[in-house]
């Protein structure tokens, strides 16, 4: 078995459950013939630490698959994927739209599998997983019998692994647009052309909580994409919902989703840059009872963090100014580089600069189908805060 030898004490983080080994933690490579292959990980004294796959061209050189001396073969992937699927059926039974495999959270780093009714969307984000893609598709067909499997490998993360971006139907035939039900709402999902893998599954449980805060309220849904938060707000009894997104295609899907749920009279959608729109609304003296901010990741690497913090600060500060006294701000960040402490600090400074006081009603994370590993803080990427915003006394 090819192997790597870690530098002294670099096994400590791995032994408590972290799954990434960085290039500067490796002292020696032994017998490695090609990137993507399975290797043993050994500590500086030669003791067995685990087994994973390697890519010497990536900053994350090895990703752990197991801490035991197991053979990594079709049977290994079948067992892991089945365990992940069974866990969803146990925790979230009967969902039509659900993440079935969540990368490191299911001990399959680099693999994402989402189900939308009879369609499956997969991502193989690393070279090690890309080499097992056909086997993984075979297993998915065996376990789930989907009508169609689509790969959504059109993400820049793959460039870090020296992989090309690509997307398309890889198994089955037919329409890539499906309709799914979620908590009594119906949504159109395009698994081939939609954002991420088709829908923002990670906010499901947070959208459900929104319903408690919106009855009879005027709601602004920023970065609304296909209208997820907007539809839940209308379902919760909001008097008016305005959704905003920079994508014309997203706005059109959002309007369709409002229509099929019977909320066209309550929901309206407009194409606009959210930053510009919020500034304009502030100048006009617009006011809302509830504002949702669910932006895309402003930061994808640590070097972009300072710019991202400024962006989060501006939109949250301006949103707070637009809220009625005692209004509710639901604000999110989906980047693991923005940790909870930093995100909270941004909210503190945004409320200060808006001349407001913010009380935390709820602090939430991603849905249970996006599991978080306690030893690996990178797996908790989504922060979602429900804030009550009032005039400063």
End-to-end CA separation in angstroms for the chain: 67
What are 30's two structure tokens? 């032994």
Q: Which residue has the tokens 């701000």?
A: 329
Which of 333, 328, 327 shows the shortest CA–CA distance to 311?
333
| CA distance to 57, 108, 332, 363, per residue, from 124 (Å) | 17, 10, 26, 31
Candidates 10, 222, 267, 334; catalytic one: 334
Render the burial of 315-340: b for 16+ CB within 10 Å, e for the rest: bbbbbbbbbeeebbbbbbbbbbbbbe
**Cα dihedral value 358, 359, 365, 367, nearest 10:** -110
Q: Closest Cα partner for 329 from 288, 367, 366?
A: 288
Please, what is the angle between helix 228-235 and helix 248-260, to 10°? 30
Dihedral sign for Cα 275, 220, 323, 332, please.
negative
Instruction: Give the whole-angstrom CA distance, residue 178 versus residue 248.
Output: 20
Question: How is residue 292 written in tokens?
Answer: 């949702």
Q: Does the annotation count 334 as an active-site position?
A: yes
Q: Catalytic amino acids?
A: 334
């Amino acid at each position: 078995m090819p192997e790597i030898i870690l530098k002294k004490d670099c096994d400590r983080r791995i032994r408590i459950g972290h799954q990434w080994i960085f290039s500067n933690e490796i002292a020696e490579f032994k017998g490695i013939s090609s990137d993507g292959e399975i290797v043993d990980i050994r500590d500086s004294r030669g003791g067995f630490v685990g087994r994973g796959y390697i890519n010497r061209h990536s900053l994350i050189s090895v990703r752990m698959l197991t801490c035991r001396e197991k053979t990594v073969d079709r049977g290994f992937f079948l067992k892991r994927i089945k365990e992940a699927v069974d866990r969803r059926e146990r925790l979230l039974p009967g969902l039509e739209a659900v993440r079935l495999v969540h990368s490191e959270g299911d001990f399959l780093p680099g693999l994402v599998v989402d189900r939308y009714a009879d369609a499956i969307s997969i991502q193989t984000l690393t070279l090690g997983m890309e080499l097992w893609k056909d086997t993984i598709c075979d297993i998915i067909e065996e376990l789930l019998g989907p009508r169609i499997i689509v790969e959504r490998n059109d993400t820049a993360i793959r460039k870090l692994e020296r992989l090309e971006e690509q997307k398309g139907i890889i198994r089955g035939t037919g329409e890539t647009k499906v309709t799914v039900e979620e908590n009594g709402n119906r949504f159109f999902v395009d698994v081939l052309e939609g954002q991420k893998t088709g829908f923002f599954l990670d906010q499901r449980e947070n959208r459900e909580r929104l319903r408690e805060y919106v009855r009879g309220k005027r709601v602004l849904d920023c970065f609304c994409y296909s209208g997820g938060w907007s539809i839940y707000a209308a379902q919760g009894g909001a008097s008016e919902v305005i959704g905003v997104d920079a994508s014309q295609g997203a706005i059109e899907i959002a309007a369709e989703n409002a229509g099929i749920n019977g909320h066209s009279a309550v929901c309206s959608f407009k194409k606009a840059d959210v930053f510009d729109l919020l500034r304009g609304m502030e100048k006009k003296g617009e006011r809302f009872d509830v504002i949702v901010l669910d932006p895309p990741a402003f930061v994808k690497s640590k070097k972009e963090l300072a710019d991202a913090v400024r962006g989060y600060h501006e939109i949250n500060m301006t949103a707070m100014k637009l809220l009625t006294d005692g209004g509710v701000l639901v604000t999110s960040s989906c980047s693991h580089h923005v940790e909870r402490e930093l995100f909270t600090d941004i909210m503190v400074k945004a409320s200060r600069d808006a001349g407001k006081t913010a009380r935390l009603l709820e602090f939430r994370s991603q849905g249970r189908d996006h599991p978080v590993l306690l030893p690996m803080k990178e797996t908790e990427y989504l922060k979602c805060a429900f804030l009550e915003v009032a005039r400063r006394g």
